[in-house]
Amino acid sequence: MEANLGEKELKECEDEVSHLALDIGGTLIKIVYFSSNSSCSNDDQKNSLLKDRIDAPGGSLNYKVLTGRLHFVKFETRKINECIKFISSKRLHHYGDQDDGAPASDKNIIKATGGGAFKFADLFKEKLCIILDKVDEMSSLVAGANFLLKAVHREAFTYMDGQKEYVQIDHKDLYPYLLVNVGSGVSMIKVDGDNKFERVSGTSVGGGTFWGLGKLLTKCKSFDELLELSHQGNNRVIDMLVGDIYGGMDYTKIGLTSTTIASSFGKAVSDNKELEDYRAEDVARSLLRMISNNIGQIAYLNALRFGLKRIFFGGFFIRGHEYTMDTISVGVHFWSKGEAKALFLRHEGFLGALGAFMSYEKNGFTDVTREVTEQRSSKAKNSGAFESSTRDDVKDNGCIECRVQVRN
Ligand SMILES: Nc1ncnc2c1ncn2[C@@H]1O[C@H](COP(=O)(O)OP(=O)(O)OP(=O)(O)O)[C@@H](O)[C@H]1O
Ligand SMILES: CC(C)(CO)[C@@H](O)C(=O)NCCC(=O)O
C-alpha cells in the first residue's frame, strides 16, 4: 500500500531523521541516512498519510511504511572531525530516538563498514557516544549494489562514445556479475546472488593512486581540480604511442593501431624534459588514462576468468566522469572483443554505506521498498560547509525519495 502524499502535506511535515549508516574508507567517509516525513503536528494525519500498516507475507508480523528520503553525504576521511560535527549537529546519532520499543542501550548503535569502522571506533565512542556496529565491507558493497540494481529506477547505464544509455535490469537475470569497486584501492567481486559472492581479485592501483600521484605531479589541491585538469589535457604528449615506436605506422599484425598507447608516460624517458616542462593538464590526462585502462583490463580479465558478461563499476573514483567511464568502457569492449559490457551506477560511491544501511534489517528495519522520484536535495545545496561539494548531483550529496518498511 502506498502513502499518498500531496506536495502541500509534504512541505507541512518536518523531516524526522532516523537510521544512519557509515562507510569509513581510506579516503572518504560516506554517510547514508533516512528521514521520514513523520513529524506532522496532527497525529491522525500522520498515521493516515504516512504509516500505512501492512501485514507481512506470513501474516503474523506487522509492518509500517514510512515515506521519506534517503540522504547521501560524503566527507574526506582526513577531515573526520567535520563528519563528527555534522552527525552531531543533525543529531543523526540519535537515530533510534523515535523507535518506541528499542532498549536504551541499543539506541546509539550505528551500522558502519569500511576499515575506518575499526580504526575510528574509539573516536566515535568518545565524541558521540556511538558504538559502531561493524558490517563486513565486501558484503556491504554487494548488498548496496544489489539493492540499487533491483530497487532504483534508471540506476545502471553504459557509457560509450559520449552516449549514456540506461540499462533496464531484469531481476531474474541479474546474476552472476562482476562488481568492481574503485575506491582508494580496487576490489573485484563475483556476485552470484543476495549475499552470495566472492572477492576474486583486487589491485592497489586505484583511486588513491590517481589522486595521490596526481597531487604530487600537478600540485592540484583537490580531486575535482585534478579531474577538471585532465579534461583539458592531451595524453599523447607524455604517453608513448605505438606510432611513436613504429614510425607512425599501425602494428596491424597484432591488432594495434598507431594511436594505441604502447607505454603510459613512456615519452618522458626520451623527451629530456623536467616535470615543469609538461603541462599539468597533460600529466593529469595520462595518469587518468593509465589508471582507468589498467582497472578496465584487470576487470575484463577477471570477467573472462569466470565467464561474466556484465561488469558493474562502483566506488568514488568513477564520479560519473565521462572520460574515466569512456576509457574503462573502451578498454572492456576492446579486450573482450565486444563480449563483455562495462556498466556504471548512478550512486556508485555509496554502495558500502547503503549496504550497511540495509543491514538494519535485524533490528527491525526491513526494506527500502521503492524509489518514488529522485531529485537534488535543496537541503544539501543550502546547508553550507558540511556539504560543500562542487558537483551538483545526487552522487555527491543528495537524496532519493522512497518508502521504507519498518517492523513494529
Ligand atoms: N572529493 C574527493 N576527495 C578525494 N577523493 C575523491 C573525491 N571524489 C572522488 N575521489 C576519488 O575516490 C577515491 C575514494 O573512493 P571511495 O570513497 O569509494 O574509496 P574509500 O572507501 O575511501 O577507499 P577504500 O575502500 O579503498 O578504503 C579517491 O581515492 C579518489 O580517487
Ligand atoms: C583494502 C581495501 C579492501 C579497503 O577498502 C581496498 O583498498 C582494496 O581492495 N585494495 C586493494 C588491495 C589488493 O587487493 O591489492
Cα torsion for 39, 42, 44, 45, to the nearest 10°? -70
3-class secondary-structure state, position 312 = strand
Reported as a single tens digit per residue, the pLDDT across 226-238 is 999 999 999 999 9
Residues of the chain with CATH 3.30.420.40: 16-135+351-376+395-407, 156-238+279-345
Could you count the other beta carbons within 10 Å of the beta carbon of residue 393? 13
Categorize the per-residue pLDDT at 175 as very low, low, confident or very high, splitting at 50, 70 and 90. very high
Q: Which atom of ligand 2 approaches the CA of 181 most closely?
A: 9
Indicate which residue's Cα is closest to atom 2 of ligand 2: 185
Pocket probe mutation, ligand 1, options 23, 28, 74, 179, max atoms within 8 Å of Cβ: 28
Categorize the per-residue pLDDT at 122 as very low, low, confident or very high, splitting at 50, 70 and 90. very high
Q: Which atom of ligand 2 approaches the CA of 138 most closely?
A: 3
| Structure confidence at residue 400 (pLDDT) | 79
Counting ligands in written order, which one lies closest to the CA of residue 24?
Answer: 1
Class of the 156-238+279-345 domain?
A: alpha beta
- CATH number of the domain located at residue range(s) 16-135+351-376+395-407 in this protein: 3.30.420.40
Residue 320 Cβ < 6 Å to ligand 1: no
404, pLDDT greater than 80: no
Indicate which residue's Cα is closest to atom 2 of ligand 1: 223
Indicate which residue's Cα is closest to atom 6 of ligand 2: 185
Counting ligands in written order, which one lies closest to the CA of residue 295?
Answer: 2
Reported as a single tens digit per residue, the pLDDT across 313-347 is 999 999 999 999 999 999 999 889 999 999 999 99
Which residues have a Cβ under 8 Å from the Cβ of 204 and sit 6 or more positions away? 185, 186
Q: Is ipTM > 0.95 here?
A: yes
pTM of the model: 0.86
Indicate which residue's Cα is closest to atom 11 of ligand 1: 317
Residue 340 Cα distances to 261, 303, 369, angstroms? 22, 8, 31
| Structure confidence at residue 408 (pLDDT) | 62
Reported as a single tens digit per residue, the pLDDT across 81-120 is 999 999 999 888 876 434 455 555 555 899 999 999 999 9
